Structure 1
Amino acid sequence: MLWCESLVLKLSQQIIKTPVAEDIRQLVMSPNQDFLAILTTHTVHICILPDSSHLSSLESAPPKPKFFTIGSTTHVTSRSAVVSALWHPLGVNGTALVTVTEDAVVRIWELSTADRWSFDKASLAIDLKRLADGTCLDQDFGVSVSATNKGFSPDSFDMEVAAACFPARHSGNWSPMTLWVAMTGGDLYALCPLLPKKWSPPPTLIPSLSVSIVNRSGSTEDDPDASPEERLLAQQQLQWMAELDKQEPKIVEDTYEDAVLEVYTRPEHPGKVPRLQGPFEFEVNPEDEQDDEVELKDIFVIGQGVNTAELMLGEDDDLDDEEDAGLSLSVICLLSTSGQVKVCLDAEGVEAKWLPPRPLSSKFKPLGPMSEPPSLLVFQTFDTVKPAELTSDSWPMFSQDPASRYSFYVTHPAGITHVNLEPWVSRLENELGEESEAGAEFRIDLLVKGGQGAERERVFTQPRGQNVLAAATVIRDRDIGHLLLSSTYSQPIPIFFEAPELELATTVREASVIPELADEPAPEPAWDPRPLFRPSDYLNLKNAIPQWHELLRSGKRRALLQQEVRLSPVTLEVFTEGHKVVSAQVFQLNHAVAELFRKCEALQDELKDQLVKASEAKKKIDKITGEDSGDDEPVSVDMLIRSRLAAARAKQEELVHKMEIVRKKMGRVTTRELSDKEKAWAEEVRVLETSIMGEEIDDGSPISKAKQPWKRFEEIQALRDSLLAQAEHLRKAAGEAADDVPATPAPNVKIPAEIRRAKMAQVMSLLDRESMLVEAVKSRLERLTVG
C-alpha cells in the first residue's frame, strides 16, 4: 500500500514514472514479474515492466514503459471504488487479473498486449448481490450497465467488500480456484470454482481433483441417506470433470521458469458462474466472543496442502514435494481496523458448487439454499496493536513471508508485526492424521485450549506523530538476503534479517569449488560496507521565525515593532516567545548539523583508508604485471601506450607482407579444375604407363582386371612354340605319307598389286598414327614432370 501523488520506482539507477494523476493506493506485481498493476481509488493501470537489462544501462533518460488502463468505461470515478486487484494463480503466464469493487462485483480480465480490447472488456463479470439471491443457473448474474440507483439497500450495506484473496497456486484440492471475499461488516464469502477462459493448472491439481470427485460420487451413490442437494453436487462435479477430461491441453512455454504449461479451456457445464458460498458462520469459544462491531480491512488465506498419499495410491513411486506439503485444512486470517487478527480453520473444506439447473417441468421447484450454512472454526484471536496506538483512519494489511508458508507480516500505522503459525500447524496435522473415537473437532478444541498459539514479534515500531506506513514487502534472495522493505512519506524503512539457510547454502556452494583453490586464503575486501546515512529532516524543515514574525506583525503587539525597545512586561513577553521559537529551531539545527559534521569527518577518515587500500592494490597489480622494476627509468603511461601501439602496428605490417607473399604463391600454384575429357585422358595415360612399366593396378578399375600386354605377350610366345611343335609333328607325319603317295604340284595363287599396295598404305598409316601418339604422350609426360 502506497499513498503518494505519483509513483517513482527506483530500480538500481533507473526511474519509472507513471501517468497516474490520482493517489496510488496499491501496487500488485504479476506472478511472472512482467506486469505491474497500479491501483487508485477508482482506476486500475497496467505497466509493462521493461527488461532487467535497463537497470545496468548507462543512459541517463529513464525508460518509458507502456501503460494500459483497465476498463476505461468500467473502473471510473463515477462508479464504485476498486478494493482489490488480484492476479489469478491459474492464469496463463500470469496474465489473468481479477478486480473486486466495493459494490461486490467480480471481474476477470485476460490481458494480452497484442489485443487492446482485452484491457477494455472483462471476459467474465459477476454481481455477487445478484448471485446471492440466485436460484438457478439460467439467471443473469452479470453487471447491469444502466443501473444508476445508488440508494440505500440492505445488500449494499451488508455486502460492502473490504478485501479479497486467492490461496497460492500450489495449494491442494479446490483452493487455487477459490476466491475468498471479506465484507466490511465481518461476513465472509467464497466463490469456487472461479476460472478465466484459458487457465493452466499445476501438474498435480487435475489428478487430485479427479480422485476427489470420483470418491465423492461413489460414496454419494452408495449412501441411501444422501440428500438431493448432495447427489446434485456430485453429479455436477462429475460433469465438470468429464468435460475437462475430454480436452486436449495446449502446450505453451512458461515465460518465467524453464518449463512448459498445459493450457485448458474453462468447462461450460454445469456453468461458468459458480455458486456463492456464505456467509460463513464463525464457531468461536465463549472467551473469544466480542460484542463490539468488527470492521474488516484485509484477508489472507493459506490453502491446504496436496494429499500426495492419496494421489499416489497404488503407485510404486512416491511424490515428495516440499512446496506442496502443509496442513490438510485451509487457514483463513482476517484483519480488522483495530489490528486484531482472527485465525480460522476451514474444517469442512470449500468445494466447487453451482446453482441447480432450471427445472423442465413446473411441478418441480428448484432447490433452495443449502440447509446448513458453511462454518469456520475460530482457532485463535490476538491483537497486534496496543490500545494507545489505535487510530480511526488506519488501514492495516497482510504481507506474505517467503521464508515460510505459515508466517506473514501485519503492517499497521503503529508498526510491523511478524506472525508465525508454525508452532501449532505441525501438531494440528498430527492430531488430524490420527484415528481416534473422540473426533477431529474435539482434538482441535483441546489444542486451542492448550495455550500453544501463534508467535508474534514486533519488528518495527513507528515513531509517534507519524500515521503513514506502507505495507511491508518481503524479499528473500541469495544475493540480497532476507529483506523487509517499507516506507513513509519521508524515507524508506529497510530491515535485514539473518538467513542461516542462505548462509549454509552459500557455504556448501563455496566448498564445492576446486580443491587447489579452496586452500588459498580469501582476498581482502577492497572496501568495508558502511551503513546508509540520511541527513536529518530538520535541515529541510521550513523556518518558523518568519511565520512567528508575521504573526507578531499582524497581532495586538504590532505597535512594538515601530517603537524603540523599552523595558516593559510586554517586551519581555515578546522576547520570551521569540527565544522559545529560536531556541527550539536552533537546538534542532545544531543537533542535525553536528551529526552531519561528524559524518563528514568520518568520511574523510574512510577516504584516507580507501586511498591507502587503493595504493596497496596498485602495488600488487604492478608486482603481478612486472611494472614494479626500480632499475629502469620511470616511463609514463602515455609512453607505454604509444610503444605498445607502435609494436602492434609493426607486427600488423609484417603479417600483411607475409600474407601478400603467400597469396601470390598460391595464385601461381593454384589452377583450374580438370575437365571430364582431361580426367579420362589422364586415366588413359596412367594405364598406358602401367602397361609399359609392367606395374600392377590395384584400384579395381575394369582396365586393371584385364591381362597386361607383357603377360599376353608371354602367353602368345608359349602358344607359338606349342603351335610350331604341333606343325613340326604334322609335317613329319605328312612327309612319311608323301613317300607312299606320288607328289602333286602346289596351286599357284597370285595376289593383285593394287590390293598389296592398299594393304601396305593402311599398315603405314597405322604405324604413323601410332608414332604420333607415342610422341604426343612422351611430350605430355615431359611437361607434367617439369611442372
Structure 2
Amino acid sequence: MPKVISYTPAWLSKPNPGHEIFTTKTMGAPTASSNGSTASSKRAAKPGPRRTIARRGTEVFIAVGKEIRWADLVYLKEAWEDKQSTNSLSKGKGRDSYNQFEGDHAQGYRIIKTQVAEDIRQLIISPHANYIAILTTHTVHVAILPDPSLLTAADTGPMKLKYYTLGPTTHVTSQSGIASALWHPLGVNGTCLVTVTEDAVVRLWELSTTDRWSFDKPTLAIDLKKLADGTSVDQDFGASVPGTSKGFSPDSFEMEVASACFASRGSGGWSPMTLWIAMREGDIYALCPLLPEKWSPPPTLIPSLSVSIVAKVAAYEDEQGVSPQSKALAQQQLDWMSEIDNQEPSHIEGPPGEPIAEVYLRPGKPGRVPKLQGPFELDLAPEESEQEADELLSDICVIGPKMDADELMFGEEDDLELDEVDQEGLSVGIVCILTSSGRLLVCLDLDGVEAQWLPKAKQKVTRFVEDSNPPSLLTFEALDTSRDSEVRDANWPVFSHDVNSRYSFYITNTSSITFISLAPWVFRMEAELNEATIGTDFRIKILVEGNKSLRERLWTQKSYDKSSPLSASAVIRDPDLGYFLLSATSHGPIALTFEAPDLHFDLERRSRSPTYDPEPDKPLIFFEPRPCYEPAHTLEESSAMPAFIERVRHGKYKRLLQEEVRLSPATLTIITEAHKVISEETHRVGTAAAELFRRCVKLQLDLTNHIAKARDVANRIKAITGDDVDDGQPVITADARVEARIEAAKRRQTELNNRIEDMRRKANRGSNRELSDKEKAWIEEVDTLDHTTATEEGNQEPVDPKGHAARLAKVKKLEEELLDDVHDLSTEKEVATPQKLKVPSEIRKAKMAQVMGLLERESALVEAAKNRLERLSLA
C-alpha cells in the first residue's frame, strides 16, 4: 500500500508556472473552459470519462478546454529549485553565470493549439508515444507528437501540430458519441486505433501517415447489435451508413456502451486480442479474436496458442461425450491457427529502441468477424441496490492471465526471456467492473475467453444449445469507493493503472482518489491452485472469506467544491520525481508523492562493480504529511453583478436604472433576478469564508500540537545528553549512562544464561528417555576400564594380570630395582674412594648421565600412570 509522504509540491503550486498550466490561464491568456468541466454546450455537459492528463515519460499533456498544455515536470522542478537557489544567492554575492532557466531560454512548458470544436474530454497516448488521440464527446483527432527537443526549444509561443481527423463522416456531432478509444495492443508499431461508440459500433483504424485514406475509412467496422442477433458468419455485420434513419430497438437502450478495454500485450492466452465491452445498463460482452488486417504479436503469443489448440483438438478426439459444438469450435480454432502457421511473416523496423516487428495477416477463415460472447452472467453478484447509480457501469479493466513460460518451453533447451511482470500473478483472468456509484466488482474469468466464430450458413446450430451454457464470471469481491453523500448524477469513476504492479490500480471519482491492490490474495490463490493438495478447498474458502484486497482513500475533494471534478490520475515513477500521482481540476493540479517501494534486483547487485558507492539512505519522515491550504477559488472570482447590470442596461428594463425605485412588477422582476445572482455568490463566498475560519482554528490546534511534540523531543534530547539534571546534583554524562546500560544488559544476559543452563540440567536429570547407542558404548568402555584397574580388597595384586594396575605394579617394581642399583653404585664409589681409585672424569660423567636419564624416564612413566589412574577414577 503506498504511503503518502507529501502532497502538491511547491513547484506545482501558486504562483509558479507549474500551477498555471493546469488552470484556465497560462501566461495571462484566458480560455473558455478548463479540463473539460465547463461545458460549451449541452452536449459537452453530458457525463462521461475525464482523462485529460496523458504522459510520455516525465512529460505531461493536459487538456484545458480546447487547448493542450505540454510540460516537462522534471524541467519545471529543476527550474523552481534553481530559482530558489538564485534568490538565496542574490542576498549575498549573486552570480553572473549562464542559466538555462532564464526567461530567454526554454521554459519547460508550451501551449499546443488544436482543431477541435468542443472541449477535449480524453487524451490517449499511443504505445510508442509517437501519436496522441484527442477525443471530444463525438470527434476524434490524431496528432503526431514531436520530439521532446522541439518542445523544449527557445520558442515559447503556441505550437501547432500535424493533425488528422479520424472519420470525418463517421465521428461527427450528428452521430453517436465516442465511448472509448483504444490503441490495439497487437497493432503494427502501435498504429491501430479502436474506437467504440455509444451505439455499440466497433471500428478498427490502421493508421499510416503516408496514406491519408487510412484516417477516413476503418478497415473493419462491426455493429454489435447486429452481431448479437447473427446466426451465420456470412452475414453483414457492418455499421449502418451515416445518415440512415434508425428506428427504435430495445438493443439501443440495453447496449449503450459505457467503456471498453484490452488486456496488456504480454498477457497469456487469447487476452491480447480480446475486446471487453461494458454496457451502461450492466451487461458485459467479449469479442475475440479482434485483429486488424496487419498485426504484430509478441514472440510467445503464436507458440502458446498453437500448443493449446493442438492439445485441445487431440484431447477432444480421444475423449468421449464431447459435444459437437465444442469439436466444431476446436476445429475452427485449428483452421485459424493453420492459416497463421502457413504464413511467412514480414519484418518491419520499429521506432528507435524497439525490436523489429513480425507482421502477420489476419486469417480469412473461419471469418474476420468473431462471435459476440455474452452477456456474461455474474455468479455470486451482490444484491441489487435501490440506487440506480449502482447498476450503471462506468468503466472496465481486465488483467489477463500470466504467461506460463515453463509449460510453453517444456522439453526445449533454450530458455525464453520474458518480463518478470508477465510471469507473475494469477493464471486466471481478472475482470474489474466499476459503477457510477463507485462500487467495484472484482470478477474471475475461470473458464477463460477463447476465440469463437459463428457457424457457416450450411452449419447452423440451434441457439437453444448455445444458450444452454452462457458464459459467466465469478464475483470474487465487491468494494465501495464512494460515500453516499458523494454519489451524484455526473459521477463517472475511471481506472488508472499503477506502474509498480499490474494487480494494483487507482480509481478516480468525481471527488476522490482511491488505491486498490489485489496482491494480498492473487499470489496466495495462485499457489493454492498450482499445488492442489489436501485441504486446498478449505484454504481457498478461508482466503475468500477473509480480508482480501487492499483499499485506501488517498484524496478527498472539498465538499463544497462540486463544480470541478477530478481528472483521471496519471501515475509516474522517475528517479527525479519519485513515485508520483498527478490529477487535476479546473483550478489547479493535485499531486501526491508516495514512498517508493523497496525493490531489490539481485542481478543488478551482482553486476555492480566493487567500487560502487550506494546512495545514502533517505532521512526518516516523522511527521504526518498534509496538503497545504489553498483558499477557495470563489474568493478569486469576480462578481457576476457587473455583467448582470450591463445586461439589464441593454434590455427592456434599462429605463428603470435611471429612475427612482418604484414598486412595480418590472422592479420586482429585476430585484428577483439580482437576488438570485447575489444569493448564489454570497453562499459561495460564505462557504469559502467558513472554510477559512475552520482552517484558522485548526491551525491553532496544529500549532499547539507541534509545540507539545517539540517540547517532548527537547526533553528526550536533554535526557540523553544529561542536560535535564538540576543544579547541585552530580552530572552523569551520556557516555556514562550508555556504559551503565551496557553493563546492566551484560549482567542481565549472564543471569539469563545461568538460568537457562540450570533449567537444561534439571530437564536432563528429569528425563527418562532411553540411552542412545553411543551412550551405551561409552558405559561399556567405562566398565572395561574399571575392570582392568580394579584390585581385590586386602590384596594389592590386580584382578586382571594384563590390566593397567599390573603395568603400574611392574613399573614400581622396576623403579625399586633401579633405585637399588643406584644405591649399590654409590656404595661402591664410597668404598673405592679411600683406595684412591682413579676413574676418568669422562667415564664418570657418562655413567651419571646415563643413570639420571633412566631415573627421569622412570619418573615420567610413574607420573603418567598416576595421572591416567586419577582421570579414570574421576570418570
1:453 aligns with 2:551: no
Residues in 2 aligned to 1:477 and 1:280: alpha-carbon distance in whole angstroms: 40
Matched to 1:541, the amino acid is E
Correspondences of 1:309-458 after superposition (within 5 Å): 309-319=406-416, 321=418, 322-325=420-423, 326-359=425-458, 369-436=466-533, 444-449=540-545, 451-458=546-553
1:144 aligns with 2:240: yes
Residues in 1 aligned to 2:153 and 2:643: alpha-carbon distance in whole angstroms: 46
SS in 2 for 1:194: coil
SS in 1 for 2:312: helix
SS in 1 for 2:222: strand
Matched to 2:560, the amino acid is G
Matched to 2:554, the amino acid is V
Conserved in 2, the CA contact under 8 Å of 1:301 and 1:332? yes
Correspondences of 1:498-647 after superposition (within 5 Å): 498-501=595-598, 515=611, 537=633, 540-543=636-639
Residues in 2 aligned to 1:444 and 1:71: alpha-carbon distance in whole angstroms: 50
Aligned to 2:357: 261
Unmatched 5+ stretches in structure 2: 1-49, 53-62, 72-107, 618-626, 649-653, 663-674, 697-875
Aligned residues: 564
SS in 1 for 2:378: strand
Residues in 2 aligned to 1:166 and 1:275: alpha-carbon distance in whole angstroms: 17
Residues in 1 aligned to 2:112 and 2:434: alpha-carbon distance in whole angstroms: 32
Aligned to 2:557: 462
User: Could you give the per-residue CA deviations for residues 693-743 of structure 1, whole angstroms, max 9, x where no partner exists?
Assistant: xxxxxxxxxxxxxxxxxxxxxxxxxxxxxxxxxxxxxxxxxxxxxxxxxxx
Aligned to 1:270: 366
| Candidates 220, 227, 233, aligned match of 2:329 | 233
Aligned to 1:113: 209
| Candidates 566, 575, 582, aligned match of 1:485 | 582
1:249 aligns with 2:249: no
**1:556/1:354 Cα in 2 relative to 1: closer, same or farther (>3 Å)?**
same
1:82 aligns with 2:178: yes
**1:134/1:547 Cα in 2 relative to 1: closer, same or farther (>3 Å)?**
closer
| Candidates 296, 308, 315, aligned match of 1:219 | 315
**1:230/1:40 Cα in 2 relative to 1: closer, same or farther (>3 Å)?**
same
Conserved in 2, the CA contact under 8 Å of 1:356 and 1:367? no
Aligned to 2:74: none
SS in 2 for 1:232: helix
Length-normalised TM-score, structure 2? 0.59
Aligned to 2:404: 307
Aligned to 1:732: none
| Most deviating of 582-591 and 122-131 | 582-591
Residues in 1 aligned to 2:684 and 2:167: alpha-carbon distance in whole angstroms: 56
Residues in 2 aligned to 1:393 and 1:409: alpha-carbon distance in whole angstroms: 19
| Candidates 94, 101, 111, aligned match of 2:197 | 101
Residues in 2 aligned to 1:387 and 1:589: alpha-carbon distance in whole angstroms: 24
Conserved in 1, the CA contact under 8 Å of 2:560 and 2:687? no
Aligned to 1:159: 255
**1:509/1:7 Cα in 2 relative to 1: closer, same or farther (>3 Å)?**
farther
| Candidates 47, 61, 65, aligned match of 1:5 | 65
Shift of 1:518: 5.3
Aligned to 1:711: none
Shift of 1:252: 1.9
Shift of 1:117: 0.2
| Most deviating of 340-349 and 314-323 | 314-323
**1:25/1:587 Cα in 2 relative to 1: closer, same or farther (>3 Å)?**
closer
Q: Bigger relative contact order, structure 1 or 2, given CA contacts below 8 A and separation 6+?
A: 2
Shift of 1:55: 2.9
Residues in 2 aligned to 1:31 and 1:89: alpha-carbon distance in whole angstroms: 8
Matched to 1:137, the amino acid is V
Residues in 2 aligned to 1:406 and 1:239: alpha-carbon distance in whole angstroms: 35
| Candidates 281, 289, 293, aligned match of 1:193 | 289
Conserved in 2, the CA contact under 8 Å of 1:14 and 1:54? no
| Candidates 46, 59, 64, aligned match of 2:160 | 64
Residues in 1 aligned to 2:217 and 2:528: alpha-carbon distance in whole angstroms: 48
Residues in 2 aligned to 1:353 and 1:259: alpha-carbon distance in whole angstroms: 31
Conserved in 1, the CA contact under 8 Å of 2:225 and 2:251? yes
Matched to 1:75, the amino acid is H
SS in 1 for 2:457: coil
Shift of 1:8: 2.2
SS in 1 for 2:458: coil
User: Could you give the per-residue CA deviations for residues 181-225 of structure 1, whole angstroms, max 9, x where no partner exists?
Assistant: 011111100000000111111111111111110111011111121
Conserved in 2, the CA contact under 8 Å of 1:239 and 1:270? yes
Aligned to 1:528: none
RMSD: 3.9
Residues in 2 aligned to 1:587 and 1:430: alpha-carbon distance in whole angstroms: 53
Correspondences of 1:118-137 after superposition (within 5 Å): 118-137=214-233
Matched to 1:377, the amino acid is L
SS in 1 for 2:304: helix
SS in 2 for 1:323: helix
Identity rate of aligned residues, in percent? 52
Larger-Rg structure: 1
Residues in 2 aligned to 1:368 and 1:57: alpha-carbon distance in whole angstroms: 65
Residues in 1 aligned to 2:253 and 2:327: alpha-carbon distance in whole angstroms: 35
Conserved in 2, the CA contact under 8 Å of 1:50 and 1:63? no
SS in 2 for 1:324: helix
Shift of 1:94: 0.5
Residues in 1 aligned to 2:543 and 2:319: alpha-carbon distance in whole angstroms: 33
Matched to 1:411, the amino acid is T
Matched to 2:497, the amino acid is Q
**1:226/1:258 Cα in 2 relative to 1: closer, same or farther (>3 Å)?**
same
**1:533/1:476 Cα in 2 relative to 1: closer, same or farther (>3 Å)?**
same
Shift of 1:21: 1.4
Length-normalised TM-score, structure 1? 0.65
Conserved in 2, the CA contact under 8 Å of 1:359 and 1:366? no
SS in 1 for 2:397: strand
Matched to 1:262, the amino acid is E
Conserved in 2, the CA contact under 8 Å of 1:182 and 1:189? yes
SS in 1 for 2:443: strand
Residues in 2 aligned to 1:371 and 1:591: alpha-carbon distance in whole angstroms: 63
Matched to 1:331, the amino acid is I
Residues in 2 aligned to 1:94 and 1:109: alpha-carbon distance in whole angstroms: 11
Matched to 2:405, the amino acid is T
Conserved in 1, the CA contact under 8 Å of 2:635 and 2:685? no
User: Could you give the per-residue CA deviations for residues 736-783 of structure 1, whole angstroms, max 9, x where no partner exists?
Assistant: xxxxxxxxxxxxxxxxxxxxxxxxxxxxxxxxxxxxxxxxxxxxxxxx
Aligned to 1:92: 188
Conserved in 1, the CA contact under 8 Å of 2:445 and 2:472? yes
User: Could you give the per-residue CA deviations for residues 337-391 of structure 1, whole angstroms, max 9, x where no partner exists?
Assistant: 100000000000000111111217x9x9799635300010000001000111111
